[in-house]
Amino acid sequence: MYEKEILFNIGNNIRAERTRARLSQESFAEKVGINEKHLSKIENGCVNSKITTILAIMNALQLEFADLYRKIDI
What are the tens digits of pLDDT across the range 45-62?
999 999 999 999 999 999
Q: φ and ψ at 48, to 5 degrees? A: -95, 95
Residue-wise pLDDT tens digits, 5-49: 889 989 999 999 999 999 999 999 999 999 999 999 999 999 999
Domain chopping of the chain, boundaries: 3-69
Instruction: Please give the helix or strand (H or E) that residue 9 lies within, else none.
Output: helix 3-20
Q: Does residue 74 surpass a pLDDT of 50?
A: no
In 3D space, the residue among 33, 41, 38, 24 whose CA is nearest the CA of residue 59 turns out to be 33
Q: Domain 3-69: give its CATH code.
A: 1.10.260.40
Q: What is the DSSP string of 32-46?
A: HTS-HHHHHHHHTT-
Instruction: State the pTM of this model.
Output: 0.87
The pLDDT, as a whole number, for residue 67 is: 72
Helix 25-32 crosses helix 36-43 at what angle (to 10 degrees)? 100
